[in-house]
Structure 1
Amino acid sequence: MAQGKIAVAIPVSGNCLSRLSRSYDVITLPGGLGGGSPELDSEAVWAILTNGSTGLSDDEMSRFPALKLVCAYGAGYENIDIAAAKSRGIHVTHAPNTNTETVADHAVALMLAVARDICARDRQLRGGAWDKIRSARPTLSGATLGVIGLGNIGRAVARRGEAFGMNIAYTTRNKVADVSWEHYADAVSLAAASDFLVVACPGGPATRHLVGKAVLDALGPDGFVVNVSRGMVVDTGALVTALKARAIAGAGLDVFEGEPDLPAGLRDLDNVVLTPHMAGRSPAAEDAQIDVLLSNLQACRDGGKLTAQLA
C-alpha cells in the first residue's frame, strides 16, 4: 500500500469517508486546501479528492511534492489546472456518467416545479388560499425543449423530454450525427425556438455567461430556463432583470454564481425555484462515484490503468 495520506478537499458523505478509510489514510479539510489543517503534512499527501467547482490550481499542487493523483468527484473538472498537472507528472481523473440519470431527473423536476408553480402554490395553499391559486399553468407535453449541450446529461434530459411528449432541439458546436433532434447553431436561435431551455453544458471560461440577456430575450415571456450545469453559465444579473420584468416566465436553478451564497436578487422572486447544487446527489449516483474513486486510487497505488483519465 502507498504510504501517505489522501486529502479530501471537499465536503463528502460519511459513506464516502467510511469506504475511503477502510483502505487509506484519509485527512479531511473542512476549510478546503486554503483552510489547511493542524494534521496536514503536505509532504505526505499522494492523492487529493476535489471537484470541478473547488478545483486545484498549479500553486496548490506545488504545495504537495509527493502528489501523484487528483480525483475529481463527479464529471466536472473545470477549475482543475490540467496543464499544470501534466507538467508536474500528476494524474487527474474524473467520474463522468456516474450521476447522469439523477441530474436529468432533477432537471425535469425543476421544469415541472417552475412551470406548474408547485412550490409557490404549496406555500399559498397552506396559508389558506384555494380558488385564487387554481389558475391554468403551462405543461411539458407539446412544448419545445431546447438543450444547451448534448453530452451524457443533455441526452438524458432530452430522452425524458421525449417521454413527456416534448419536441426536442439542441445546440452544440457541431451537429451530432446519431440523433434526429433539430440542431441550432447557437444558444440565441435555440432559445427563440424553445419553451423550456435546459442548460447542460460544461462550465469554464468558454461558457461563462453563455446564457445572458440575448438568450433570455430570445426565450421570451412564455419561456422557462433551467440550469443544472454550472452557475457561471448563466449571467445572474441578466437573469434577475428578466425574472423581475417577467421578460421570461420563470427559472429553475440547481446552480448559481457565488454559491453557496444565494444572490440577493434571486432571494425574493416568486418565479424561480432553487435547489442547493444537489441535482447529481442520490444514493445510486454516490455509490457509482465512490466506486470510480476507489478504482482509480487502487490503480494509481498499484500501477494499474486509470479510468476517465484527464492527465
Structure 2
Amino acid sequence: MFALSDIQAAAERIAPFIRRTPLIKAEALFENITEAELWLKLECLQPTGSFKVRGATNRLLVTPESQLTHGIVTASGGNHGLAVARAAAMAKVPANIFVPATTGREKLDKLAAWGAIVHVVGNVWDEANVNALAYAKEHQCAYFHPFADPAVIAGQGTLGLEILEQLPELDVILVAIGGGGLISGISAALKSLKPSVRIIGIEPEGSPTLYASLQAGDVVSLPAVTTKVATMACGRTDARVFEQVRQAVDEVVLVSDEEMLAAARWLWFEFGLAADLSGAAAAAALRSGKVRLAAGAKACALVCGAGKDALV
C-alpha cells in the first residue's frame, strides 16, 4: 500500500537534514528485560527529539513553495508539532501548532523556542485536529497531517531502511503507535526487504486505537481516550494506516502509562537516555512481560522520542 520506492526516495531526499541515529546493543545491564539480543534505536537524538522530523521534513520537501506562502499548520501531541515547527523554520514561514491540554510543558516550551504559534485546544489530539483543519482552511495554510499523509509515512519509513542497514540480521522490532504513521512506514519498508521480520506495535491501554480496530475488523472511533501520554493519544486512525497495519504488522499489544513511565526510568538508569513515555513504550512492552522474545533473537526497540518524564 505504501511503496518501497517512495520510502527510498524519501531517504535520499531528507538525508542532508536529519541524523543517522545510533543503534546500540543493550548490554552490561543491571536489569535485563528480555532474553533476546536487544538493540535500541535512538531516535530520541534526532533534531527536535524524535523520529517525527523524518516525516515532516519529507513532507516539506515535496510541497511546492506556492503552497507554503501562508505557513504550515498541524495538530500534535508534541513531537510532530516540533518537527513541523522545524520544517517551517527551514522554509522561513509561520508554524501554527494545535495541541491538546495534555501536552507537557516541556514540549510547549520547545515549540515556543522553535518559533511556533501554539494553540491549546481540547483534551485529545482529535479535538485539536478539528481546529487545526479549520484554521488551515480559513488561512490557506499548508496542513501537515501527523500520520495519514503518504509523504509523512514515507519519511517515517526511512527509519526501517536505516535499521536494516545497521542490523541486517534483525528478527523482530517493537514500535510505539499513536496514530499509526510510524509503524505503517516501518512495516512497509521492512516487509518489502525482509518479510521474515516480526513487527510488534505498542499502544497505551488508554488509547488502543489500532488494537480496537483490528479486533473489530475495521476502523473504529474509541469512545474515550484516557491515556495521559499526549504523543500516543488518538481516538481514530486512518483507513489506509489501518489496512497497512492489518496486512503487515504481526501483533499489537497494550501497555499502561505506569509501565511506560517505569521503562523511561529504566532507560535513564541504564543508559542515561531521557525518553518521553512514547519513547519508552517499546521497552515497556518487554520490561512488563507483555512481549516475550526467544533467547538469541535479534530485537530492536525504538526509543522514538526524547523527554524528561523519567526525571521528575
TM-score, normalization by structure 1: 0.32
Greater CA radius of gyration, 1 or 2? 1
- Structure with the higher fraction of residues in helix conformation: 2
**Which one has more relative contact order, counting CA pairs under 8 Å at least 6 apart?**
2
TM-score, normalization by structure 2: 0.32
